[in-house]
Structure 1
Amino acid sequence: MAFQKLYIGRKIRDIREASDATQAAFAERIGISASYLNQIENNQRPVSAAVLLALADKLHVDIASLAGSDSDRLLSALAEAMADPVFDGFSVGLQELKLVAQNAPNIARALILCHQSFRKNSEQLASLDASLGSRTGVSDPTPYEEVRDFFHFVDNYVHDLDIAAEDLALKLGIGEIESGAALVTHLERQHGVRIGRTAADADIIRHFDPETRLLTLNPYQPLSTRNFQLAFQIGQLEMEEAVEALVQKAEFRSAEAREICEIGLYNYFAGALVLPYRPFRAAAKDMRHDLELLSAHFGAGIEQVAHRLSTLQRPGFKGSPIFFAKIDRAGNITKRHSAAKLQFARFGAACPLWNVHRAFETPGRIIRQLAETPDGVRYLCIATEISKGGHGFRTPQRNYAIALGCEISYAEDFVYADGLDLSSKTAFEPIGISCRICERANCGQRAAPPLKRQLVIDPHHRTVVPYNIQ
């Protein structure tokens, strides 16, 4: 396999500054010249394999972490923003975007935020929203979008919470004994919390009364959901200080975003407690990421397992890089993360050619797809429909689909690749990210023309797409 050129000057500079070394001293330590190190840090030259090996040997740097996908996510979001027609007067190439994402990530994030604000303002103007001009901050990202981006740019991995959850799981024997019993015992002994049941007709999943120390759970929810809520409650009681520090560091724009992020972080802790990192990573590898086997082994739901797989990003001990998304029937992506090259669009619905939409047609089944994006990267895609609620005739049921997958080079790690012809080009279906930024000109499922291409309308000629794209 050819060595991929890595322009990671900022990361090298951060490593050097963390060791409190000058360029000359640092260069001498890893066996290169100071001028070469200067060129590397300014992304004028790529990092060689010899330099990577020296960093691993001399400084115990995790090489895999240097080639992480954080810049890929930032580059994808930046490229999508620059595709907006408002930037038509600027011809910005991919290499320039890479330089900004790698050398000045804060400027890149600021530009993305400005573009996001511009879009929201434009949408408000277009719809003549009555709240335009009020003090509600219409041009700001919503609290949920702020929190979504927070998890997106921390690689969907929160180290302090993950380590604390794994340590507690080991202490409680999670994975060795029935999780629910261990969690209940811990709440009772360590925190004096009693466990009760909600009324049969209640739509409450969890309720905690700090005064009486009574935690009530809905007995009609699946066992995996009740165990998760027990773990969530432990997180609230034991991780408040750590969560507060993380939220303060994030510098959210609103109180709502801070509160939403706190819930998200407690959810993260709960997932890491019922699916502790090292045992779960080992089981995922042994079971070749079989969602149903992992679900049965840990007593967790399919969605919990799939989401946890996307968080296996511990430096030096990562799992297989996957993408994960949660999609409603309208195609809206309500949860997303990618440790692979595939990056989800920040605006608009998911590509209609993606197999996740077909999951609604086959409830209860896991469906597979070999797919190729316009950049030529190929993926193994897995999707299944999830139903929640519905316990009782009048109880509404929630339906959505989850999707996960990996680049084809990792497909052998997944049981879902068995029986598929990974070597056949015709086996891969063309998919995109979203219509507004997809460059495929002849897609019969196109819902909107690409932003950066000129349209040609011929009244005497009609194809599947009602316009030609130049």
Structure 2
Amino acid sequence: MASQKLYAGAKLREIRNRVSLTQKEFAQKLGISLPYLNQMENNNRPVSTTVVLALAQEFGVDVTELSTGDSERIVSDLREALADPVLAETEVPLADLRLSASNAPMLAHAFLKLHHAYRQTHERLASLDEALGRQDVKMQPSPWDEVRDFFHYCDNYIDAVDHAAENFAVQAQDHGGVQNAAIRALTHIGVTVKMVDQEVLRNYDPATKTLSLSNRSAAETQAFQLLLQVALLQRNSLLEATLDLARFQSDSARNIAKIGLANYFAGAAMMPYAAFLKAAQDLRHDLELLGRQFGASIEQIAHRLSTLQRPGKKGVPFFFVRVDQAGTITKRHSATRLQFARFGGACPLWNVHRAFETPGHFLRQLAETPDGVRYFSLARDISKSGGHYGAPVRRYAIALGCEIKHADQLVYADNMDVTSAAAYQPIGISCRICERPNCHQRSVPPLERKLTIHENTRGVLPYEVS
């Protein structure tokens, strides 16, 4: 098979700006001519092997950065935005979207922000009883969307926070583990830690410097909440510096992101990067064995696996998603080419939706997306007890997966016939941007295709997709 040419102009410009060099200086460092660099930065020429090696030697660049940028995410997001009914008559070729994502990523991001603003305005106008008379409405993205996109485009990996959490975990080895180290760290700054019979998982009173944890929650949840409080109190300056760099548009988004970063610290401290990566590789990503080794839940383990994207020390690029019983995506991240729908539910053919039918069991699936990329997907239901009789039980399902080329590193993929085309379930992203013409589970027509209605014939669908 012929090797695919690598066009990474935007990434080259990003690296050059990162090291504060002019094009002429950068070209000299790479040992190439200025015109040649200019052509590569504008994607008129592919990045040569000589340049790839020079980037690694001169600047310590992880060469996988060149091929695992934001392009696939941007293309997926652009396709979904352009499938909006208001733009349904505007047919933009996929090649143009890829060109925009690689050559003008900031322009693509600007378009996506504009589309977010349009959708938000449209939703406000649909609720006239709330919108009428309000003069303080500003054209800003939803805080949740803004924070979600922040982690999405950071590859769900925050380097400074991850390293800080790993250092905390290493030092905790001398203090009986991270949970004891967390209590010790909080006690050192005058915080009293109490186990209380309460509904809320964690409550901190700044006035009395008392941290109350629910004794109804699981041990891994208690450890997580302790470490989260350590992040908020002892690593506050690090969190604030990271938030300053993110430049959120509202205080609400910044506050939500701060909790997200504290959560990130807690997970990274429970599962420190180097030790966790090695264990994941040694145990072939067995979630239950990893959970016992690191004192974490299956969901925590799966989520952490999706963050192992440290430059130079990357793990298997996973996608991770959590859905509720209505099919709503409540957590999502993908370090793969598979991107999740930003609006609406996920593909109903995906095994994550069937996990609710088989509680306590892992479901395995070989799946293929319309672009021909094949994946291994692992799904399981997750139940979270309220802690006492009569308390509501929260039920979710999670899915963890990777491209099929990495499946041999997962114990769950053993004995599956990954070479048989018939073994792969055809799945999509969402119905309105899925190109499959004959899907029996299609809920709405694809907006990029023409429909034919046959008055005298009724198939699986009431229309035929061209």
User: 2-side partners of 1:356 and 1:177: how far apart?
Assistant: 37
User: 1-side partners of 2:21 and 2:346: how far apart?
Assistant: 46
Deviations 1:4-49 (A, max 9, x none): 3221112212323344434334323323222211100111111122
Kindly state the Cα deviation for residue 458 of structure 1 after the two structures are TM-superposed: 1.2
| Farther-moved stretch of structure 1 (12-21 vs 70-79) | 12-21
Deviations 1:240-274 (A, max 9, x none): 11212222332222221111111111111111111
User: 1-side partners of 2:132 and 2:77: how far apart?
Assistant: 27
Matched letter for residue 31 of structure 1:
G
Matched letter for residue 180 of structure 2:
A
Q: 1:244 aligns with which of 217, 240, 261?
A: 240
CA, structure 1 residues 31+439, in 2 after alignment: closer, same or farther (shift >3 Å)?
A: same
Kindly state the Cα deviation for residue 328 of structure 1 after the two structures are TM-superposed: 0.5
User: 1-side partners of 2:373 and 2:192: how far apart?
Assistant: 52
Structure-to-structure mapping, 1:57-72, within 5 angstroms: 57-72=57-72
User: 1-side partners of 2:57 and 2:424: how far apart?
Assistant: 41
User: 2-side partners of 1:419 and 1:280: how far apart?
Assistant: 26
CA, structure 1 residues 350+136, in 2 after alignment: closer, same or farther (shift >3 Å)?
A: farther
Structure-to-structure mapping, 1:97-112, within 5 angstroms: 97-112=97-112
Deviations 1:32-70 (A, max 9, x none): 222211100111111122321222123322101222242
Kindly state the Cα deviation for residue 89 of structure 1 after the two structures are TM-superposed: 5.0
Kindly state the Cα deviation for residue 138 of structure 1 after the two structures are TM-superposed: 7.3
Deviations 1:171-209 (A, max 9, x none): 1118x9544233223322x3232221223xx21111112
Count matched residues.
Answer: 466
Give 3-state SS (helix, strand or coil) of 1:130's partner: helix
Deviations 1:214-245 (A, max 9, x none): 21111110000000001001101111112122
Structure-to-structure mapping, 1:208-247, within 5 angstroms: 208-247=204-243
Aligned residue in 1 for 2:14:
14
Matched letter for residue 111 of structure 2:
L
Kindly state the Cα deviation for residue 75 of structure 1 after the two structures are TM-superposed: 1.8
User: 2-side partners of 1:368 and 1:69: how far apart?
Assistant: 28
Matched letter for residue 300 of structure 2:
Q
TM-score (ref. length: structure 2): 0.95
The answer to whether the Cα contact below 8 Å between 2:374 and 2:403 also exists between their aligned partners in 1 is yes
Give 3-state SS (helix, strand or coil) of 1:95's partner: helix
Percent pairwise identity: 53
Kindly state the Cα deviation for residue 120 of structure 1 after the two structures are TM-superposed: 2.9
Kindly state the Cα deviation for residue 408 of structure 1 after the two structures are TM-superposed: 0.3
2:269 paired with 1:273:
yes
User: 2-side partners of 1:430 and 1:17: how far apart?
Assistant: 42
Aligned residue in 1 for 2:394:
398
Structure-to-structure mapping, 1:350-365, within 5 angstroms: 350-365=346-361
The answer to whether the Cα contact below 8 Å between 1:72 and 1:341 also exists between their aligned partners in 2 is yes
Aligned residue in 1 for 2:164:
164
User: 2-side partners of 1:35 and 1:422: how far apart?
Assistant: 45
Q: Which consecutive residues of structure 1, in runs of 5 or more, have no partner in the other structure?
A: none
The answer to whether the Cα contact below 8 Å between 1:355 and 1:381 also exists between their aligned partners in 2 is yes
CA, structure 1 residues 133+56, in 2 after alignment: closer, same or farther (shift >3 Å)?
A: farther
Aligned residue in 2 for 1:137:
137
| Farther-moved stretch of structure 1 (179-188 vs 153-162) | 179-188
User: 2-side partners of 1:120 and 1:19: how far apart?
Assistant: 38
The answer to whether the Cα contact below 8 Å between 1:326 and 1:335 also exists between their aligned partners in 2 is yes
The answer to whether the Cα contact below 8 Å between 1:441 and 1:469 also exists between their aligned partners in 2 is yes
Aligned residue in 2 for 1:195:
193
| Farther-moved stretch of structure 1 (438-447 vs 113-122) | 113-122
Aligned residue in 2 for 1:37:
37
Matched letter for residue 185 of structure 2:
H
| Farther-moved stretch of structure 1 (103-112 vs 227-236) | 103-112
2:329 paired with 1:330:
no
Structure-to-structure mapping, 1:402-421, within 5 angstroms: 402-421=398-417
Aligned residue in 2 for 1:257:
253
Give 3-state SS (helix, strand or coil) of 2:248's partner: coil
Q: Which consecutive residues of structure 2, in runs of 5 or more, have no partner in the other structure?
A: none
CA, structure 1 residues 305+132, in 2 after alignment: closer, same or farther (shift >3 Å)?
A: farther
Aligned residue in 1 for 2:184:
185
CA, structure 1 residues 465+239, in 2 after alignment: closer, same or farther (shift >3 Å)?
A: same
Give 3-state SS (helix, strand or coil) of 1:196's partner: strand
Matched letter for residue 26 of structure 1:
F
User: 1-side partners of 2:129 and 2:429: how far apart?
Assistant: 29
Kindly state the Cα deviation for residue 83 of structure 1 after the two structures are TM-superposed: 2.4
User: 1-side partners of 2:205 and 2:112: how far apart?
Assistant: 41
The answer to whether the Cα contact below 8 Å between 1:292 and 1:302 also exists between their aligned partners in 2 is yes
| Farther-moved stretch of structure 1 (153-162 vs 82-91) | 82-91
TM-score (ref. length: structure 1): 0.95
Give 3-state SS (helix, strand or coil) of 1:168's partner: helix
CA, structure 1 residues 55+69, in 2 after alignment: closer, same or farther (shift >3 Å)?
A: closer
User: 1-side partners of 2:148 and 2:136: how far apart?
Assistant: 20
